[in-house]
Chain A
Amino acid sequence: MMKPNKRKFEEGFFKLLMGVSTILVIGILLLIIGTIVWKSLAVFKLSMILRTPQGGYYLGKEGGILNAIVGSFYLASGATVISIFLSLPIVLYLNLYTKKSSAASLLTRFSFDVLWGVPSIVYGAFGFIIMIFLGLRASLLAGMVTVALLELPIMSRAMDEVVRMVPLELQDASYSLGATKLETALKVVVRQSLPGILTAILLAFGRGIGDAASVLFTAGFSDRIPTSLSQPAATLPLAIFFQLGTPFPEVQERAYASAAILTMIILLISIVSRVLIKRYTKHLVR
């Protein structure tokens, strides 16, 4: 009867390891958010989010990161909008107009896979090359285009996953009423997969607003809130990076608060997309 004990022991041992791992993963998340929030509480002042940096901000003087907050929102929104105008038509085309095995479909999906894996610093480098090629300077527009490229595969993949689940019978029902493909696409398919599409957009937005490497070369940085597309724009991730990089501890501490703000924005987006999914799933045709 020794054997069962050895087997039980092995199972118990691994179950313990598994439990520890899972708790570790959850614990790390809590630790990260907790540390950032806790450290930022000491430093946080309302003026941080309401004011732009006054001269010498990075040397310890007055001001806030309003420039970066607004800059990031402008940039990420613009990038996301550009990305929607690319992703949605492409995904609809792939799912409604082509067969899964057609050359266009395979090539495009393969390209998306490739783009999905490209590190954001390479997007930044590429964006930089384009900028130089077109004679542009580091600006809001250049940043928007670069981040749009970054968001494209993320948004497309997420959208594709939802749109491809729309049942064929539903599409056929629309066609048999005499609708054109375009009408079916916009009025039936999109409506059916709307929660998923919105989630895809939010997901891409969250990625875009948090990324630093892609805007490092392309969006520049500025103490002011940009008033036109050709001006450089400050972004939250870069603001955090620069604040942390100064030799002044008071400024370094501000980095924690900025990081907390960015994390809160991401958390908010995550919660909103979950709520959206729950609410709009009522209208779906099953």
Chain B
Amino acid sequence: MGSKMEFQTHISIKNLNVYYSSEFVLKNINLDIPDKKITVIIGPSGCGKTTLLKSLNRLLDPVNGVRVEGKVFVDRENIYESMTEVTHIRKKMGLLSQRPQVLPMSIYDNVAYGPRIHGNKEKSKLDIIVEHYLKVAGLWDEVKSRLSQPASRLSMGQQQRLCLARGLAVEPEIILGDEPTSALDPQSSQNVERRLIELKTDYTIIVVTHILRQAKRIADYIAFLYLGELVEHGPAQEIFENPRDPRTKAYLTGEIS
């Protein structure tokens, strides 16, 4: 690959194949995700980007008819080993979905949900956690006076930031973003992008997007997925300025979308 980027590998995907009812969705993916950097997965819609993301926190498990083969190493542990505890793995990864999915409870309870489930029931501790992560997500000032109101009353942009706070509250190491700004207005999108960039000092971030400009703005590392295959990957600058594969070139110039 000849990349000029030195990095530690946080997640190592080896020979990942995902089938849905005997049809390939992901073919033989081999990818190392760098630690504490923003990796952006780009590619046309329907090519398996979201599937790849979901295979990292084993959200494919409950789906009927899906088969996963291969290994995914997180910190050298294969998460698909049958002995591993699934909730433990998911806790390591926070997921930010395309459309903000607030839980049917108050703003406070949304953020406190994760910590409560994992054993933290003391109110004083939870208060600190809720305040801290709402601040990190940039939402604290807007909601501090109405924490007990239903989360569904927030605007879309606020809801997405709430989901971010909620996801961070379980203290993951990795943040997964599935087109996290596509349902938001430009102002809120900018907001979320800025947060992600700030967060990369402490977290490894993987974002899926079909907006090339967004990728250019935030990516340190790029992986291009086309029709279920990992076509090319490398440091962002390299891929954007010097793509090797003709398919990558075609996608970047807008010929295929």
Direct contact of A and B (CB under 8 A): yes
Binding site for B on A (CB under 8 A): 3-4, 7
Contacts of A4 in B (CB 8 A): 85, 87-88
Residues of B within 8 A of A7 (CB): 87, 117
CA distance A59 to B88 in the complex (A): 72
Q: Does B135 contact A (CB under 8 A)?
A: no
Q: How far is the CB of B95 from chain A (nearest CB, A)?
A: 20
Which residues of chain A are within 8 angstroms of B117 by Cβ–Cβ distance?
7
A-B pairs with lowest CB-CB distance, top 3: A3-B119, A4-B85, A3-B118
Instruction: List, in ascending order, chain A residues with CB within 8 A of B118's CB.
Output: 3
How far apart sit A7 and B117, CA to CA, in the bound complex (Å)? 9
- Interface of chain A: mostly helix, strand, loop or mixed: helix
Closest to A11 in B: B87
Chain A residues contacting B119 (CB-CB under 8 Å) are 3
* Distance between Cα atoms of A3 and B88 in the complex (Å): 12
Question: Which B residue's beta carbon lies closest to that of A3?
Answer: B119
Q: How many A-B Cβ pairs are below 8 Å?
A: 7
For B, the interface residue count at a CB cutoff of 8 angstroms equals: 6
Question: What residues of chain B lie closer than 8 Å to A3, measured between beta carbons?
Answer: 118-119
Contact with A along B189-210 (1 / 0, CB 8 A): 0000000000000000000000
Chain A residues within an 8 Å CB radius of B88: 4
> Would you list which residues of chain B between 65 and 123 have a CB under 8 Å from chain A?
85, 87-88, 117-119
Q: How far is the CB of A188 from chain B (nearest CB, A)?
A: 33
7 A-B pairs with C-beta separation under 8 A: A3-B118, A3-B119, A4-B85, A4-B87, A4-B88, A7-B87, A7-B117
- Chain A residue with the shortest CB-CB distance to B117: A7
Within 8 A of A (CB), among B118-136: 118-119
C-alpha gap A92/B119 in the complex (Å)? 57
* Least CB distance, A175 to chain B, in whole angstroms: 35
The minimal Cβ–Cβ distance linking A10 to chain B, given in whole angstroms, is 11
Residues of A within 8 A of B87 (CB): 4, 7
Cα distance A7–B91 in the bound complex, in angstroms: 15
Docked complex Cα distance between A34 and B85 (Å)? 44
CB distance from B92 to the nearest CB of A (A): 14
Please report the C-alpha to C-alpha distance between residue A164 and residue B228 in the assembled complex, in whole angstroms: 38
User: Nearest Cβ distance between residue B28 and chain A, in whole angstroms?
Assistant: 34
Chain A: minimal CB distance from B87 (Å): 7
CA distance A3 to B117 in the complex (A): 9
Q: A171 to B85: give the CA distance in the assembly, Å.
A: 54
Q: Shortest CB–CB separation between residue A7 and chain B, in angstroms?
A: 8
Cβ of B85: which chain A residues have Cβ within 8 Å of it?
A: 4
Task: Considering the complex, give the chain A residue whose CB is closest to the CB of B120.
Answer: A3
> Nearest CB to that of A4 among chain B residues?
B85
Docked Cα-Cα span, A4 to B84, in Å, equals 13
Q: Which residue of A lies closest to B88 (CB)?
A: A4
> Which residue of chain B has the shortest Cβ distance to A2 in the bound complex?
B119
- Interchain CA distance A7-B87 in the complex, whole Å: 11
| Chain B positions 14-37 with a Cβ under 8 Å from a chain A Cβ | none
In angstroms, Cα B87 to Cα A4, docked, is: 9
* Shortest Cβ distance from B85 into A: residue: A4
Cβ distance B76 to chain A, nearest Cβ, rounded Å: 21
Give the Cβ gap from A2 to chain B, nearest Cβ, in Å.
8
Give min CB distance, A87 to chain B, whole Å. Answer: 36
A3 to B119 CA separation, bound complex (whole angstroms): 6
Among B85, B88, B118, B119, residue most surrounded by chain A Cβ atoms (within 10 Å)? B119
Closest to B119 in A: A3
Nearest Cβ on chain A to B54's Cβ, whole angstroms: 22
**Minimum distance in angstroms from A272 CB to a CB of chain B:** 30
Q: A212 → chain B, closest Cβ, in Å?
A: 42
Task: Tell me the B151-205 residues at the A interface (CB within 8 Å).
Answer: none
Cα-based distance from A14 to B31 in the complex (angstroms) = 40
Would you give the shortest CB distance from B111 to chain A, in whole angstroms? 19
Q: How far is the CA of A194 from the CA of B117 in the complex (A)?
A: 51
Chain B nearest CB: distance from A5 CB in Å? 11
Q: Which residue of B lies closest to A6 (CB)?
A: B119
- Alpha-carbon separation in the docked complex, A266 to B118 (Å): 51
Complex: chain A residue closest to B118, CB-CB: A3
User: Closest CB of chain A to B235's CB: distance in Å?
Assistant: 39
> In whole angstroms, what is the CA distance A7 to B85 when docked?
12
Give B106 Cβ to nearest chain A Cβ, in Å. 23
**A115 CB, nearest partner CB in chain B, Å:** 34
Question: Distance (Å) between the CB of A121 and the closest chain B CB?
Answer: 40
For the complex formed, measure the closest distance between the CB of A120 and the CB atoms of chain B, giving whole angstroms: 38
